[in-house]
Copies of this chain bind each other. A is one copy, B any other.
Amino acid sequence: MGTKQRLPDRKSKITVREVARRANVSESTVSRIMRNKGLVAEATREKVMETVRAMGYVPNRIAGSLASLDSFLIGVVIPSLSNIVFPEVLQGVHAGLEGSDLQPVISTTDYDIDREEVVVRGILAWKPAAILLAGFEHTEATRKMLDQSAIRVVEMMDIDSTPIDIAVGMSHHRAGHAIGRHLIARGYRHFGYVGHDWTADRRVRLRYDGLCEALAESGLSIESKAMTDGASSVAEGRAQTARLRAQAPQIDVAVYSNDDMAVGGVFHCLSEGIRLPDEFAVFGFNGLDIGKELPQPLSTVRSNRYLIGKKSIEEVLASPERPPNPTIIDTDFEVFAGATA
């Protein structure tokens, strides 16, 4: 650390003014240099950058943002961090933001649209460049705020409704339907369903409905259901699978509300020595990594959570102005046959 300059004392916040004084230039010159904007003589730039480094100056974005009236924040509102799919969306968001000098501000709602309202208000107060939410269910007040904000609004995960501005995701209804057709084609006739609470997450219900429709088209139906009131988990998947098999032994395939639940089903079978998929078949949803590595790869539908996050950002960066008509971006899904169904 060559030059033994006197360190700035801890409390004195260093501003453009101090830097400008020390470097014998004006504040705007320093500002221009810090933002690589406008013409500056190479000599001045070097001189200023040196004092910037020496003083450890970091421009205050709060002030910068206020002065320039543009934002460097992206609001992200997700239901939860405990369901692995949302961190995956966040990964995509981070990837999309790479190199853009925007920072994500993240909040969670616990699947509660009233909390979402509070959280959205809090985020909009930061005047973000755009806001990303999960799903289409919002309070009236939330809708009003989002609309008035006039910034780009992305509703992620789901494309089965009309978005406020942009929707990025897949059709869960079609996915459910595809699952039904796939399993019928494989010869299954006695369907069970193992699920978790779907009041908080509309997408779970959409998949279920799509599945039922596909079955109905072939004159079939869900013969038995085992559901928990709570959140999805491997433990609940195990427990509900046990219940389903006890209450409806004729079932030859169970469709699960998601992979967590389905992995629980697989574990139950492993523990009880039930042969998959001959004796009982398991079908999940999401395409989580864990499913791929089971002794037998889990049969499931792969959604593209990472892609959803990434595309969402790409879209808002591509056109910062809200167009007159809503945009829908389908990130699609893929039925993965696997070995458990």
Interface of A with B (CB < 8 Å)? 1, 7-8, 10-11, 56, 58-63, 65-66, 71, 73, 81-82, 84, 86-88, 90-91, 94, 101, 103-108, 121-127, 140, 144-145, 147-150, 233-235, 238, 263-264, 267, 270-271, 289-290, 292-295
Contacts and interface: CB of A to CB of B under 8 A. Distances in A.
6 nearest CB pairs, A to B:
A234-B293, A87-B87, A61-B125, A271-B295, A10-B150, A270-B295
How many copies of this chain sit in the oligomeric assembly?
A: 2
A62 B144 CA distance: 21
Given A63-B66, A234-B293, A125 B87 contact: no
Contacts of A11: 150
A263 B10 CA distance: 48
Contacts of A238: 293
Contacts of A267: 293-295
A264 B63 CA distance: 50
Given A61-B125, A82-B88, A271-B295, 13 more contacts: A10-B148, A10-B150, A11-B150, A56-B144, A58-B121, A60-B66, A60-B125, A81-B94, A94-B107, A103-B123, A105-B105, A235-B292, A267-B294
Contacts of A59: 125
Given A103-B105, A103-B126, A106-B106, A62 B60 contact: no
A11 B147 CA distance: 11
